[in-house]
Structure 1
Amino acid sequence: MADLIACEWLKWRRSRMLWLVLLGALLPALLVFFITLNGASNDEPFHWKNYFETDLQIMAMLMCPALFSLLIGYMFAREFQERTVNNMLTGPHSRLSVLAAKFIITLPVLLAVMLLSFLLVLGSGFVFHGASESFTMSLLFDQAGKFGLLLLLEYALAPISAAVALLWRSYIPAMGLGIFAVISEMTIMQSKYIMYYPWSAILNLTTDLSPDHNSASIGYATLAIACVVPLFLIAAYFRRADVHSG
């Protein structure tokens, strides 16, 4: 198993998708920075909480659904795209072990996006007047916990993107899924069914944009179903299907 994980990590390190990790963290941080800079030019006071949570909202609403779906889709469909899946499956490891290794490597990849975004926001915040005086460790840990929660909830949806990528044997449909998730969650977040839709449930659990409908029990139940059902489906499919490179 360790060999499979090491192999997946080496393949990821050599991938051009690595640049998307940097862009996925950099673009929201830059957007938040310029929004706050514009406010500072109008003599608006700087607030660390607003600064962090604006970035968190952009990540939860826009960047994570689209980018994470693309990254996960690429992770699971890369061998089909490059016609090397036969070589991957001729080793001594079971197909379920191959899937498990991919899911294990997916977590640090997504973590890199979230951690880099958090550090960029933290570092850029000290540019503003009064930031050093208002900064506290309790605020830092509180915001770090929210970013960590977003990471774990988004990781729970990894099986959906993986299932789409494996069924179509391409990461392009997974990218389409991410775009659809962004558009649909922005529509559903206006309704009372926000906690019954996985992506909008994540948005509300982490940012509390709709407090009147924010039910943690419903949200976590929705995410549990969205995680477990496709996970079993792709395990059954990948184990039994006639998988070949075409």
Structure 2
Amino acid sequence: MNKVASLSTVIKTEFLKLRKCKVLWCMPLCAFLPDLLIFSMFALNKKFPTVIWETYFTDAIMMINMLMAIGLFSLLAGFIFSREYQENTINSMFTYPIGRMQFFISKLIVILILISITIMASFILLVLLGLTIKHEPLTLNILLYYTKAYIFMIIMHSALIPLIAFLGIYNKSIIPPIILAVCAITLNLIVMNTPFNTVFPWSIPTILSPHQNGRTYTNYTLGIIVLCSTFIVGTVLSIKSIKKDVH
């Protein structure tokens, strides 16, 4: 019970530290910008007189996965995990009853919550915007299908976080995660239609989510294995870096 209480306390502390962070203003950008762009396309373009939900949702999902989510979540993870080093509070933190595993897990949970809020807020807004213009019937089956797709997106993007966290911890800076995000977005566009799309971790959320013009090369099993491996390797490297760097 003490461990659970201690972990919850650390998580609350992390959220308190984030209250005034300007980086959180990027979350609405990621959540709402793709929705507004897709909505505008259907609302203003005569080529789309009616909202076809499959196209509507799929276009938004692709934009989030290929561009917005990679940049935002890398920025968030890099900031949250590196700030203790940049502010020189990492050593003093462990003078309190906070274990290194709790330090890592609490930050990971905070980022998971932020990812969940961002992606689900985007989904809810997308639905509401679509209902304001001419649309085909939104059936329960369609709604459930894309709800599951967005939840799966949360899981996939969360699996990438530990590796980004490792870069922030190891380099004690937010810069490497940002560089990784830029490189990942660029490579994502390059490998999307190649056999490497389920080998490159940052392409997998797009490939395994609903997307337009089904890809020629899609190995779902390999994609899941790569994501799980990325999560495990990133977690191990992050924990080792925390133990090594804290004196």
Q: TM-score, normalised by structure 2?
A: 0.91
Structure 1 residue runs of 5 or longer lacking an equivalent are none
Q: 1:233: which partner in 2? A: 237
Q: How does 1:191-230 map to 2 (within 5 A)?
A: 191-208=194-211, 210-230=214-234
Structure 2 residue runs of 5 or longer lacking an equivalent are 1-6
- Contact kept in structure 2, 1:46 and 1:128, CA below 8 Å: yes
- Contact kept in structure 1, 2:159 and 2:227, CA below 8 Å: yes
SS at match of 2:208: helix
- Among residues 21, 31, 39, which one is paired with 1:25 in the alignment? 31
The answer as to 2:40 corresponding to 1:34 is yes
Instruction: State the identity as a percent.
Output: 27
- Among residues 80, 98, 103, which one is paired with 1:98 in the alignment? 103
**How far is 1:242 from its partner?**
4.1
SS at match of 1:212: coil
The one-letter code of the counterpart of 1:141 is L
What do the CA deviations read for 1:117-139 (whole angstroms, capped 9, x no partner)?
Answer: 1111111101212x2x5111211
The answer as to 2:183 corresponding to 1:180 is yes
What do the CA deviations read for 1:59-84 (whole angstroms, capped 9, x no partner)?
Answer: 01101111111011111011222222
For the aligned residues, what is the CA RMSD? 1.6
Higher mean Cα deviation, 41-50 or 164-173?
41-50
Q: How does 1:15-164 map to 2 (within 5 A)?
A: 15-39=21-45, 41-42=46-47, 44-129=49-134, 131=135, 134-164=137-167
SS at match of 1:157: helix
What do the CA deviations read for 1:196-244 (whole angstroms, capped 9, x no partner)?
Answer: 111112211113554432111111111111111121111112113245x
* Cα separation, 2, equivalents of 1:74 and 1:186: 25
The one-letter code of the counterpart of 2:72 is L
SS at match of 2:216: helix
The one-letter code of the counterpart of 2:17 is K
Q: 1:170: which partner in 2? A: 173
Q: TM-score, normalised by structure 1?
A: 0.92
Q: 1:2: which partner in 2? A: 8
